[in-house]
Amino acid sequence: MVTSPVKPALRHPVVVEEIKERADHVQLRIADDITRFAGSMTFVYIHIAIFALWMIFLERDPWPKLTLVVSLEAIFLSTFVMIGQNRQAAFQQAKADHDFAEQELELKTNTEITRAIHALTTELHHRYVEIDQPRQA
């Protein structure tokens, strides 16, 4: 049995550049990991357990400290979300710019081909119409 080699998936050039940029920057990888974890159900379950234990077993009046901790956590998590949104917007803009440039080049090429076909068709028409019709003197 002959097996064909697995072809790597083709990726958009902007996607390749984005992956390379994320791999090159430690801060971006850390922000990605934090955002990925904060957006998971594991994060929710851990917080439910921690806050329940805190409120039930650790403090009689947990609300002042709990409010402070939750507020600080919300500030940091919202910052990571905004970092991710800004990077996503920059990625989408770079992809749109690339796609626009490619489409403009394709349009220009198609226009040139259409003009060449029109010129050739016109030339052929003139040659064959002139051959089929006798010249009048």
Query: CA Rg, the chain, in Å?
Result: 32
* Packing angle, helices 26-38 and 63-132, rounded to 10: 110
Of 13-17, 30-34, 61-65, 129-133, the range with the lowest mean pLDDT is 129-133
Give Cβ neighbours of residue 28 (< 8 Å, ≥ 6 apart): 21, 22, 87
**Cβ atoms of 77 and 38 closer than 8 Å:** yes
- For the segment 50-74, the average pLDDT, to the nearest whole number, is 88
The separation between the first and the last C-alpha atoms of the chain, rounded to the nearest angstrom, is 76
- At residue 68, the pLDDT reads 92
pTM: 0.60
Answer whether residue 1 shows pLDDT above 60.
no
Least confident piece of the model among 29-33, 38-42, 76-80, 110-114:
29-33
From residue 114, give the alpha-carbon distance in Å to each of 31, 94, 117, 121, 126. Answer: 50, 30, 5, 10, 18
- Extract the tokens encoding 24: 């090159």
